[in-house]
C-alpha cells in the first residue's frame, strides 16, 4: 500500500475549511454546523488520524445516539470536508432511509391550533407576535427571512428574499398587508424591517421561539407542536391541499428539489383514516 501522509484533523484545518465554505457562499448557519460536526469528530478521534475504519466506527457511534436523518446530516458535513482536504477515499456512505408517508400526529400543527395561537397572542396584548405568526403562516417564509418583510415590502405587496444563495419573491396577502400597515403606523416605523426588538434589531429565531412557547397553555396546544418552522409546514400543507402543485409550492418555499417539498406536505394520516372509514366497504 502506498505511503500516505498522516491525516490529522487539526483546528487550523477546520478553520481553513470554514474559509473555503464562506468563499463558496455557504450560509453562516451551515458553516457553524459543519464546524461543530467536525469538532465533535475531532473529539472522537482523540488525536488519532482520519482513516476509513475510524470514520466507520464513528458512524456506528452516531447511529446509537441520533436519528438517521441527523446522522446523515453530520456525515454530509464530514464528507464535504473530506473532499476539501483531498481525502475523498475516506468518505462514508449515508444511511438509507425509507421515506415516511405520514408525519407523527403529535408533531402536526393543525389550522385550528394555529388560530388559537394567534388569538392567544392577541388576547395577551402581544400584537407583534400575533402578526409574526400570521406572516410566517400566510407566506411560508423561514424565520430567518422575516427581516426581508420591510415597510417598503408591505407597501409593494411583495418581499424580495435573499437566502442560501437564492433570490425569490414572497407575496403578501392583502389582509396581511392591511394588518401590517396598521401595525407600522402604530409603531411609527418609517422604513426597514417590520418586526424588530426594543433595541431596533430585527427579531431572530430565539425571540420568536420563546414568545411562542409562552402561548401554549393559553392556546391549549401541546408545546411539542409550537415552533416557528411548523407554521411553514402548515402553509405548505394548506397550499398543496388546495392546488396539488408540488413544483409551484417548491418555488414558493425556496426549495431546489421537490423531494424536500414532499416532506413539508406530509400529514399525520388522520384525514386519510377518516376518508377510509367513510368509504364503508366493510359489510359485516
**pLDDT tens, position by position, 187-211:** 999 999 999 988 888 888 888 999 9
Are 190 and 151 in contact by the 8 Å Cβ rule? The answer is: yes
Are 212 and 230 in contact by the 8 Å Cβ rule? The answer is: no
pLDDT tens by residue, 231-274:
999 999 999 888 888 889 888 888 888 878 877 776 545 555 66
Angle at 229 between CA 166 and CA 135, to 5 degrees: 80
**Distance between CA atoms of residues 135 and 46, nearest Å:** 47
- CATH 1.10.150.130 is right for the domain spanning 11-90: yes
Q: What is the mean pLDDT of residues 24-43?
A: 92
Are 132 and 203 in contact by the 8 Å Cβ rule? The answer is: yes
**Structural domain spans, the chain:** 11-90, 105-272
Are 267 and 237 in contact by the 8 Å Cβ rule? The answer is: yes
Q: Domain 105-272: state its class.
A: mainly alpha
Residue appearing with cell numbers 459543519: 34
pLDDT tens by residue, 113-159:
999 999 999 999 999 999 999 999 999 999 989 999 999 999 999 99
Model-wide pTM > 0.95: no
Residue 102, helix vs strand vs coil: coil
Where residue 216 falls among pLDDT bands split at 50, 70, 90? very high
What's phi and psi for 133, nearest 5 deg?
-60, -45
More confident: 14 or 275: 14
Distances (CA, A) of 93 to 49, 78, 83, 178, 252: 19, 11, 14, 51, 32
Residue 192, helix vs strand vs coil: coil
- Give yes or no for residue 104 having a pLDDT over 70: no
pLDDT of residue 283: 77
Amino acid at each position: 500500500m502506498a505511503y500516505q501522509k498522516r491525516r490529522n484533523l487539526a483546528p487550523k484545518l477546520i478553520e481553513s475549511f470554514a474559509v473555503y465554505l464562506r468563499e463558496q457562499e455557504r450560509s453562516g448557519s451551515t458553516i457553524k454546523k459543519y464546524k461543530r460536526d467536525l469538532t465533535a469528530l475531532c473529539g472522537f478521534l482523540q488525536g488519532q488520524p482520519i482513516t476509513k475504519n475510524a470514520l466507520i466506527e464513528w458512524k456506528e457511534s452516531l447511529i446509537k445516539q441520533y436519528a438517521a436523518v441527523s446522522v446523515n446530516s453530520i456525515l454530509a458535513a464530514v464528507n464535504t470536508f473530506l473532499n476539501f482536504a483531498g481525502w475523498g477515499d475516506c468518505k462514508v456512505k449515508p444511511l438509507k432511509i425509507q421515506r415516511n408517508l405520514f408525519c407523527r400526529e403529535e408533531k402536526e400543527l393543525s389550522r385550528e391550533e394555529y388560530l388559537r395561537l394567534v388569538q392567544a397572542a392577541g388576547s395577551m396584548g402581544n400584537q407583534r407576535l400575533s402578526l409574526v405568526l400570521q406572516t410566517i403562516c400566510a407566506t411560508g417564509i423561514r424565520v430567518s427571512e422575516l427581516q426581508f418583510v420591510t415597510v417598503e415590502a408591505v407597501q409593494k405587496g411583495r418581499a424580495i428574499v435573499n437566502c442560501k444563495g437564492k433570490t425569490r419573491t414572497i407575496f403578501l396577502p392583502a389582509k396581511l398587508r392591511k394588518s401590517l400597515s396598521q401595525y407600522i403606523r402604530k409603531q411609527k416605523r418609517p422604513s426597514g424591517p417590520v418586526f424588530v426588538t426594543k433595541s431596533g434589531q430585527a427579531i431572530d429565531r430565539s425571540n420568536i421561539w420563546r414568545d411562542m412557547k409562552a402561548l401554549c397553555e393559553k392556546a391549549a396546544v401541546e408545546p411539542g407542536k409550537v415552533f416557528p418552522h411548523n407554521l411553514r409546514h402548515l402553509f405548505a400543507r394548506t397550499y398543496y391541499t388546495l392546488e396539488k402543485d408540488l413544483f409551484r409550492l417548491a418555488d414558493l418555499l425556496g426549495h431546489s428539489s421537490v423531494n424536500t417539498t414532499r416532506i413539508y406536505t406530509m400529514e399525520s394520516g388522520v384525514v386519510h383514516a377518516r376518508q377510509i372509514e367513510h368509504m364503508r366497504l366493510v359489510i359485516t
